[in-house]
Amino acid sequence: MTTQYDVLGIGNAIVDVLSKVDDQFLLTNQIPKGSMQIIDEDTARHLYSTMGAAIEISGGSAANTAVGVAQLGGKAAFFGKIKTDQLGDVFRHDITASGVAFPTKDATGGPETARSFILVTPDGERTMNTFLGACVEFGPDDIDVETVKASKVTYMEGFLWDPEQAKQAFVKAAQIARVANRDVSLSLSDSFCVDRHRDSFLELVKRDIDILFANEDEIKSLYQVDTFDAALQAVRQDCKIAALTRSSAGSVIVSPNDIHIVEAEKVDLLVDTTGAGDLFAAGFLTAYTQDKDLVSCAQLGAMAAAEVISHIGARPQADLKELAQAKGLL
Amino acid sequence: MTTQYDVLGIGNAIVDVLSKVDDQFLLTNQIPKGSMQIIDEDTARHLYSTMGAAIEISGGSAANTAVGVAQLGGKAAFFGKIKTDQLGDVFRHDITASGVAFPTKDATGGPETARSFILVTPDGERTMNTFLGACVEFGPDDIDVETVKASKVTYMEGFLWDPEQAKQAFVKAAQIARVANRDVSLSLSDSFCVDRHRDSFLELVKRDIDILFANEDEIKSLYQVDTFDAALQAVRQDCKIAALTRSSAGSVIVSPNDIHIVEAEKVDLLVDTTGAGDLFAAGFLTAYTQDKDLVSCAQLGAMAAAEVISHIGARPQADLKELAQAKGLL
């Protein structure tokens, strides 16, 4: 069977609400810096009423990755649940206009389209507070079997483990992809998310995941080890490929037989780290689906991540394909 | 009577939908570059479906000015009409969080909250396509008499001339302010807008306006003259103060007895001109309500305009008050 898509992303369909705050704001509201916490509707309302003026930009981790793949010239699709409302319109418009197929039907009732209040501190670090909204309506019926079968890589965000029905959808998609002999990829998303779902993640990683994305905190949390090296040794037993990101220290790409250490791309001015991991995955998977070697995959990931942290918002603003071609990465 | 507000802005309550386009996109869609055109709901839907991924930021000309005044440390209020919907929530949150009083009641029925599709070309120029939505519901009943009386300056955008009921509201507010011996200020907003409403604008300028804001095209259009100098000589007969902006060529401040030519502030990188005129007015009026001389007013206007064109969106991102104090302008 020929493939129709290079990367199918499955994740929460979220509109980001970005606002600059000082560190004191996080302390006052007892929000752990750098994390993603799930908030309910009341907390969302309270937080929004206390935070400053904001900018709305489409987001969602796997959705950002799908957009990055499309903008690098790959063929991308996305599954995720919005409601038919104004923020849902914004999400659908932006992902579609970015060249990503988005076949999932809107929810017509239930909670509003999800939003994440992303608080950006002066150091460029982002702290996310997500009201899942319509994402909780995403379930196994939203997994279009033919699309999964027709995608080289099915890429899923760990955040999807939070809404129960979505988790089932996730497992269903992974099984379809495995049977079709496609690659299954997972991003661990957040160390707090790993804490919440460690056993399920470990089982999934050992059984189903070909390509794992994680940052240093997440991979240490998964294996409950204190050092990066210990995590590294553990993960190489479990996955075909693990792409471990370490912010400005670059990335380490691990396979059972190889370890490569790849530099981060220099960034003139770090503005907002939102989407760094998502775009790293986009670059990595775009190169991977073009059969590039692992170092080239990591380099394209580093380039895409560097672009997205140099401005506000988690969707690329520059022409990623042109950038990559200029650097000889595509 | 003591004043409660330095500046009361009255205008269309709009969420901006900003997207980068190339010049060809404007040509293909026959949109005059640099203008603001009013579009109906069908055109809005069509345009949105053809434009690229976007960013949503609260806007509206007089609303941007009110936010600028508040962020410069002045006391500001705003009248304008949103609907109770998600974009309305965004608008209300942002203007309130920026320190502006916003007493106007939401529309609960009728068209959705207004949006303007702002197409930013590579030269930083913005071309606006505004679906007025709930703004057409704004009328004389929305003019809170006590707030007008309690504001040193009532500032209105020429765009408000487009919805018929808003025009009546505008005239009502101007009369209340005059009777209360307050200053009435108008921005001509757009040369196409001046074309649509030239006679009414001229009558208003001669009768009611103390402080007029206009750029070069707008003031030439108002008096139907070919040269800037001819417009200059005409306007000084009609207004107490006219603040005429000329982009990077700075501004010319005209009163019956004086003319001052004030330099523009240097901008390292012009990103998006959206809001330049609005923030010039914010700086000018903030200084004016603190009894600064006209040159200082224009300098503070130039500083605020320079900040807003150095990034995307028409609301300030830097601490304007701190910037102004560092430059000795406040």
Q: In the predicted model, is pLDDT for residue A285 greater than 70? A: yes
Residue A58 in contact with partner chain B when CB distance is under 8 A: yes
Q: Which residue of B has its CA nearest to A20?
A: B317
- The rounded distance, in Å, linking the Cα atoms of B137 and B111 is 9
Contact A188, A158 (CB under 8 A): yes
Q: How many domains does chain A have?
A: 1
In angstroms, the separation between the Cα of residue A94 and the nearest Cα of chain B is 4
Residue A233, CA distances (Å) to A41, A194, A230, A252, A263 in order: 41, 18, 5, 12, 20
Q: Does B178 touch chain A (CB under 8 A)?
A: no
The interface pTM score, or ipTM, of the predicted complex is 0.92
A54 within domain boundaries = no
Which tens digit of pLDDT belongs to each residue from A202-258? 999 999 999 999 999 999 999 999 999 999 999 999 999 999 999 999 999 999 889
Residue B297 covered by a domain: yes
Q: Is residue B316 part of a domain?
A: yes
Domain that holds residue A192: 5-12+62-109+137-326
pLDDT score recorded for residue A2: 79
Best A45, A67, A86, A92 member to test B by mutation, with max B CBs in 10 Å, is A86
pLDDT, residue A120, reads 94
Query: In the numeric block, which tokens belong to residue B136?
Result: 């057409």
B271/A contact by beta carbon, under 8 A: no
Terminal alpha carbon distance of chain B: 25
Question: Residue B93: which of A48, A57, A315 has the nearest Cβ?
Answer: A48
For residue A105, the number of C-alpha atoms closer than 13 Å in the C-beta half-sphere is 10
Please give the full DSSP string across B22-53, using - where no structure is assigned. -HHHHHHTT--TT-EEE--HHHHHHHHHHS--
The answer to whether the CB of A131 falls within 8 A of the CB of A163 is no
SS3 B156: strand
Residue B149 in any domain: the answer is yes
A57–B contact, CB cutoff 8 A = yes
Q: In terms of Cα–Cα distance, which of A304, A283, A310 is closest to A7?
A: A283
Helix (H, G, I), strand (E, B) or coil at B229: helix
| DSSP string for B107-154 | BSSSSPPEEEEEEEPTTS-EEEEEE-GGGGG--GGG--HHHHHTEEEE
**Which position has the token pair 């483990």?**
A161
Average pLDDT score, chain B: 95
In a domain? residue A250? yes
Q: How many Å lie between the alpha carbon of A11 and the closest alpha carbon of chain B? A: 19
Query: Domain with A156 in it: what CATH number?
Result: 3.40.1190.20
The secondary structure of B49-93 as a DSSP string is HHS---EEEE--HHHHHHHHHHHTT--EEEE---BSSHHHHHHHH
Q: Does A210 touch chain B (CB under 8 A)?
A: no
pLDDT-derived band of residue B99, with 50, 70 and 90 as boundaries? very high
Say if strands B100-101 and B76-79 run parallel, antiparallel, or are unpaired.
parallel
Q: Higher model confidence: residue A163 or residue B180?
A: B180
Show residues of chain A in contact with B20, CB under 8 Å: 317
Find tokens 């930009």 and name the residue: A57
pTM more than 0.90: yes
- Average pLDDT value for residue range A284-298: 97
CA distances from residue B60 to A96, A207, B174, B191 in whole angstroms, order as listed: 27, 54, 20, 17
Closest CA to A76 of A155, A176, A144, A179: A155
A188-200 pLDDT per residue, tens = 999 889 999 999 9
What percent of chain B lies above the pLDDT cut of 90?
A: 93
Task: Please judge whether A98 and B53 are an interchain contact, meaning their C-beta atoms are less than 8 angstroms apart.
Answer: yes
pLDDT band at B1 (very low <50, low <70, confident <90, very high): low
B93 vs A56: CB contact, 8 Å cut-off?
A: no
CA B316 from chain centre, in angstroms, equals 14
Average pLDDT taken over every residue of chain A: 95
User: Does any domain span residue A114?
Assistant: no
Out of B56, B97, B112, name the one closest to residue A51 (CB).
B97
C-beta atoms of A97 and B317 within 8 A: no
3 state SS for chain A? CCCCEEEEEECCCEEEEEEECCHHHHHHCCCCCCCEEECCHHHHHHHHHHCCCCEEEECCHHHHHHHHHHHCCCCEEEECCCECCHHHHHHHHHHHHCCEECCCCCECCCCCCEEEEEEECCCCCEEEEEECHHHHHCCHHHCCHHHHHCEEEEEEEHHHHCCHHHHHHHHHHHHHHHHCCCEEEEECCCHHHHHHCHHHHHHHHHHCCCEEEEEHHHHHHHHCCCCHHHHHHHHHHHCCEEEEECHHHCEEEECCCCEEEECCCCCCCCCCCCCHHHHHHHHHHHHHCCCCCHHHHHHHHHHHHHHHCCCCCCCCCCCHHHHHHHCCCC
CB contact under 8 A, B54 and A315: no
Q: Do A58 and B53 touch (CB under 8 A)?
A: yes
In a domain, B295, yes or no: yes
Does B48 lie at the interface with A, CB-CB under 8 angstroms?
yes
Give Cα separations from A10 to A66, A116, A210, B69, B262 (angstroms): 9, 17, 16, 44, 55
Q: How far apart are CA B158 and CA B152, in angstroms?
A: 19
Give the pLDDT confidence score for residue A163 in this predicted structure: 87
pLDDT digits (tens, 9 = 90+) for A53-97: 999 999 999 999 999 999 999 999 999 999 999 999 999 999 999
Q: Do B52 and A97 touch (CB under 8 A)?
A: yes
pLDDT digits (tens, 9 = 90+) for B211-266: 999 999 999 999 999 999 999 999 999 999 999 999 999 999 999 889 999 999 99
Q: Going by C-beta distance under 8 Å and a sequence separation of 6 or more, which residues neighbour residue B28?
A: none
pLDDT at residue A1, rounded to an integer: 64
Report the alpha-carbon distance of residue A249 to residue A245 in Å, rounded: 8
